[in-house]
Each structure stands twice: as C-alpha cells, then as structure tokens.
Amino acid sequence: MNGSTGERKTISFTLNGESVSMEVTARERLLDLLRYRLGLPGTKEGCGEGECGACTVLWNGLPVDSCLVPAFQAEGRTIETIESVDPAALGPFHEGGATQCGACTPGVVITARWILDNPGLLKTHTVRELMAGNLCRCTGYDGIIESIEAALDTQGGN
C-alpha cells in the first residue's frame, strides 16, 4: 500500500467481538482510529514509535503496538483493546500494585492477557522477559510481574 495521504479505503474487521466497517486513509494509524474515531481512548499513546508499548492491542491474539500499524492493515483481522478486558479478571492486578499513574497500564494489561491466554510461553520465557516490551516509569515492574504471576496461579496455568 503506497497510496497518497488522500487515498481512502473501506475496511472491515472484528473489534472487541463486534464487526466494524470504516473508511480509512492510507496514513491513518490504528491507534488514532481506535482513540479518535471509534471512541476507545483506553489505548494510550506513549511514544509513537513502538518503543513503550502503551498502545498495545491484541491483533489476532498477538500483542502489537497500534501506533506502528496502518489502520488499513486491520482488514479481516480480529482486534481486542483494553475495553474488552473483563474487570473481574483484574483482581490480582489491583491487589498487587500493578498500576500507578495508569498511562502504561492498558498496554501492560493487554500484554498480560496475552501471557495469561498463552501460558505455554512460560516454558521458554519468564514473565519478566515477556513484559520487556511495555515500559513503565512508575512501578519498577515488580508490582506488574507479581500480579501476572498471581493471576497465573489463580487460573491454574503455569
């Protein structure tokens, strides 16, 4: 896709379990589509260049930085944002000090959900390694890592 800024395309994808059809421009980022046009401001922008992970969403079940994804690429995909996360599943995170200022938190929770959905990852990686794509400036990461480990225990994974 090398269209000019003005080029438009209608795309369809599944967002948080519902079908969405949107006209997007070639330059539009998935992050902006979610935040400013679909009314889902839970996904945050931290750096705009795929370093901090604040904008992480699940893309066909895998965590990606939505600031790096052109919106048109969402055609036919399944995307889940922080708004899809069940608050009832977040007890260990609330208890364990996984959030402080909250700006990195949606991305952290999405990556955590990827780990919780795929506990087999822990055969080759530690939680600490798997979380390295999400920068947090408040917690020093222990609150996040311990919360994920507690949530894994709760769901009987590991």
What residues make contact with another protein under the rule CB under 8 A? 35, 39, 41-49, 51-52, 54, 81-83, 85, 87, 90, 93-106, 109, 128-129, 131-145
Element (H, E) at 65: strand 62-65
Nearer of residues 8 and 128 to another protein, judged by Cβ: 128
Cβ atoms within 10 Å, residue 141:
17
CB of 21 to another protein, least distance (A): 21
Distant-in-sequence, close-in-space partners of 116: CB < 8 Å, separation ≥ 6 = 148, 151, 152, 155, 157
Minimum CB separation from another protein for residue 75, in Å? Answer: 22
| 70/76 with CB nearer another protein | 70
Q: Give whichever of 67 and 74 is closer to another protein, judged by the CB atom.
A: 67
* Cα maximum dimension of the chain: 50
CB of 44 to another protein, least distance (A): 7
Nearest distance in Å: CB 99, another protein:
4
* Separation of alpha carbons 48 and 68, rounded Å: 7
- For residues 135 and 120, give the distance between their C-alpha atoms in angstroms, rounded to a whole number: 23
| Min dist. Cβ of residue 70 to another protein (A) | 15
Distance of alpha carbon 149 from the chain centroid: 19
Q: Which is nearer to another protein, 70 or 97 (CB)?
A: 97
Closer residue to another protein in complex, CB, 69/145? 145
Which two structure tokens, joined as six digits, stand for 120? 């087999």
